Structure formats: C-alpha cells, structure tokens
Amino acid sequence: MSEHLPVIIQGGMGIAVSNWELAKTVSLKGQLGVVSGTAIDNVMARRLQDGDKSGNTRRALAAFPNQEIVQKILAKYFIDGGKAPETPYVMVPKITLDQKRDAQEILIVANFVEVWLAKEGHDGLVGINFLHKIQMTTAASVLGAMLAGVDYIIMGAGIPRELPKLIRQISKLEVGSVPVDVIGGPAAQTTINPLDFVPAGTKIKKPKFLAIISVDVLGTYLARDEETRPDGFIIEHNSAGGHNAPPRGKWEFDTNGEPIYGPKDIADIEKMKKLDLPFWLAGTYGSPERVKAALNQGAAGVQVGTLFAISNHSGFSGKTRKQLLDKLKSDTLEIKTDVKASPTSFPIKIAKLEGHTSTSEGFAARPKLCDLGYLREPAISETGRTIYRCPSEPDDQFIKKGGAVEDIDGRKCLCNGLMANIGLPQVRKDGYVEAPIVTLGSDIEGAKVLLKSHPDGYGADEAVNWLLSLV
C-alpha cells in the first residue's frame, strides 16, 4: 500500500453505531473512520421518515449520480416534519436472491449517503464495514459505497474470499457477483451491473480491502491467491465487541455459560508477519499502552470499537448511552458472551441493560417476528422452492420451513434490537415498541478512564488523542 496507513481504525459497528458522524470525527483526526453498511437501507429510510430535520440525508442524496432513483426514494420515504410517533415505519423491500430493482436501488443509495456524509468537506480516510454473513446485500452495498469514493472496505464474520474480485469488477464498472450459500442446494449468485444504475463513464476509485480474521490460518489461506488476497488484515481477538469467531474444536463453557477460548483461537503474529501484508490488532486494544504494544509487535496499528461506541459521537440514542454511562460510572456494567442470542449462531457479546431484550423480562415481552430479515438464510424447501428463514422468527414458521427446534432456544432479534439502540425502533400496531439490545466488547477500562476526566461523556476525537498519547 503506497499511501500512509492509519494507526487507529475505528471499528465498523452495526447497526449505525459507527454512523457517518463518528467516522467523520475520527477521519478528521487523521485516522480511519469507518461507517457500518449493515441495514443502512432501513436506517436511511427511517431517517427520511423522521423528517431528516438536519437535512443531511437529502444533501447527500442530491450528490448521487442518478437523480431519478433519488426522486423515487424521496417520494416513498420522506415525510416533511416527520411521521407521528405511533405510526410504524414503512419498511424497505427485503433483499432476496432474485433481487428486485427497488431493493438494490435503496441499498446502493443508502451506502452512498453514509459514506458521502462521512467524507464531506475533507480528504481524510473513510472505510465501510460489512458482515460476510449477510451475503445477499453485499454486491449492491459495495457499489453504493464505492460510488461515494470509499477508501477502505472491511469485512468480517466469515471468509470474505470473493471481495477483492467484486471490488475490482465494480471499479471497472463491470458486472460484479457474490456467491450466496443456500441451505439444501447449490450456492446461488447475486449480481450487480453498475451501468444499470449510473451512467457509463462514471469514475469509481478502487478502495483497499481489509479482511477481519481471528486466526493466522485464515490469513494464510486468503493471502495465497491473488483472487482472494486482501490489502491487509484486522486480527480480532475474541474479547472484541460484536460477533466473535466461534472457538475452534469442541465447544466448552465456563460456569457463567460463556465459551472457553484456548491457544488455538489466537493468531500467531509471527506467521502473520510472513504474509507481508499490513495488519491491525483488535479486541482490547483500546488504550495508549495497548496501541504501543501493537506497534511493537509489528502491527500497522489497532482497530478499536468499544471505546468509540461509548463516545458521544456514536449512533447510540441518548437514552441508551445514558444507561451505559450510568453503569460504567457505578462499575455495574455486565457484558457476557452469549452463544445463543445471534441468529447467525456466532457468539456475540451482549451488555445487560434494563428494558433491553438482554434481560429475561425484556426478552419475554417481545412478540417474536421477523420483518427486517437481514439474517435470513435462503434454503430449499421440501417442495423445491427457495424460502428464507431466521431462527428468531416465530417458532412455528421456522420449523415449518425446515428449521431445527434446537436452533431456536435463546435466539434474539438482532435486527430490530440494534435498530432500537440507535433511536430508530419499529412501533407495532398494538403499541409495542421494539426494545434495544447492545453489544460491547469485554474491555471497558478505557471508557472508564476517559469518563473520569469527562463525566458527561467524551468525544471520539478525545478518544483518538488519548489512544495516540504514547506513540
């Protein structure tokens, strides 16, 4: 990589916890600010339905290279003055294997908007994070982010072997494709043709691609072939916020019900160095001492999530952030690795907070339903039809679609919960308002340190200053 490498990568945190405001703040400090592309189509649609009071979304929309698409989106979602609080949000079309044009359009545009806003008015670096597990939205989302000139694409939660090729195809305005796993059938392909959406001659810059991995074998595998080789790696330890890689080998649990990780789950840094690609360390690297330690180990820097998620610039609603700050100040914040909560079946770290579905009362109060559907997996039904299922949908529906009973227990609706975290909860016809569910990493010490000097909360810029204070 020729250009300077950032020492700090602010972790991509879905849904819109790492929003454009957080990413822009970090980018303006000369580091890599990262937005989350996860579910950003519904995020943008809800911001428009809330009236886009700041005008930010509409300003970014005005910069999109195909205004015919923008006008359709505004006509469908924008509500001047905002919707009534008791009115449910209109949903964007669910993405499927056979991709409908309007579903692709809003994905492209929403990813464009988030990156465009993060990059507006400066020339700092901005990245976007995607989850490999959410395969059906990838092609359209990557196109949208690249149209806004994204500098880095970062992907975790799986083996992102197809991304380097997709990025190359889209940068040349060629048809890009992404394979999608289908339970009980051969993999399908989702494709995107940039020229269906933007004029020929549109300039698209090729961003760098970083793969998030937990162990060196995966790094070696991806680096071996030019088709799959990323421009660098983020090596994420299992203490990190969000989803974690499952433990390798037989799963064992401690008395708290949390998975036990062993030496096989730790990447061998010496082997990673031999790949001759830059790497950043993540998971409990959110302090000046740990930044220094990472650099001493030969890393280009660190990726930090939790410290930025708690900062005042993140997308958490004021209510959610206050709950977190109160618990941090009283030293009562509990974070647990939950192996059941995520429909993806990956372990995920969850903070226990009152009124959230992380508590047994909050979980019991929520009527099960699946309407956002990002974590649905395509499967072939007994009659040979393609169906979509998620273990967090109502039990009878999941089982009718061939899902296993043992996959249901303890599953939570991350899609709706994560939307609620950022102040965009769905309101149901019966008055139920979707409750939040917060993921955070195990390492909350940095946030506690900064809260001592900034009792009302600290900014992401202050977090960057602190992280770099020893280098």
Ligand X SMILES: Cc1cc2nc3c(=O)[nH]c(=O)nc-3n(C[C@H](O)[C@H](O)[C@H](O)COP(=O)(O)O)c2cc1C
Give the interface with ligand X as residue ranges (CB under 6 A): 11-14, 17, 36, 38, 129, 131, 156, 212, 236, 239-242, 282-284, 286, 303-306, 309, 439-441, 443
Distance CA 113, CA 148 (A): 8
Strand partners, 214: none
Distance CA 402, CA 201 (A): 47
Minimum distance between the CB of residue 404 and ligand X, rounded to whole angstroms?
26
Minimum distance between the CB of residue 447 and ligand X, rounded to whole angstroms?
10
* Nearest CB to ligand X, comparing residues 13 and 408: 13
Minimum distance between the CB of residue 283 and ligand X, rounded to whole angstroms?
4
CA angle 246, 250, 252 (to 5 degrees): 80
Minimum distance between the CB of residue 192 and ligand X, rounded to whole angstroms?
21
The tokens describing 140, both together, are 């359209």
Taking each helix axis as running N to C, give the angle between helix 101-119 and helix 138-147, from 0 to 180 degrees, rounded to the nearest 10: 40
8-state DSSP, 279: E
Minimum distance between the CB of residue 418 and ligand X, rounded to whole angstroms?
8
Minimum distance between the CB of residue 468 and ligand X, rounded to whole angstroms?
15
Minimum distance between the CB of residue 242 and ligand X, rounded to whole angstroms?
3
Contacts of 38 (CB under 8 A, 6+ apart): 14, 15, 129, 130, 131, 134, 374
Distance CA 27, CA 152 (A): 12
- Nearest position to ligand X, beta carbon: 305
Contacts of 147 (CB under 8 A, 6+ apart): 64, 65, 108, 112, 198, 202, 204
379 near 183, Cβ under 8 Å? yes
* Nearest CB to ligand X, comparing residues 169 and 342: 342
Taking each helix axis as running N to C, give the angle between helix 67-77 and helix 101-119, from 0 to 180 degrees, rounded to the nearest 10: 100
* Nearest CB to ligand X, comparing residues 235 and 379: 235
Residue showing tokens 């400090």 = 29
* Nearest CB to ligand X, comparing residues 49 and 344: 344
Minimum distance between the CB of residue 68 and ligand X, rounded to whole angstroms?
31
* Nearest CB to ligand X, comparing residues 36 and 99: 36
Distance CA 17, CA 142 (A): 19
* Nearest CB to ligand X, comparing residues 36 and 392: 36
Q: Residue 159: what residue type?
A: I
Residues in the chain: 471
* Nearest CB to ligand X, comparing residues 42 and 306: 306
* Nearest CB to ligand X, comparing residues 131 and 387: 131
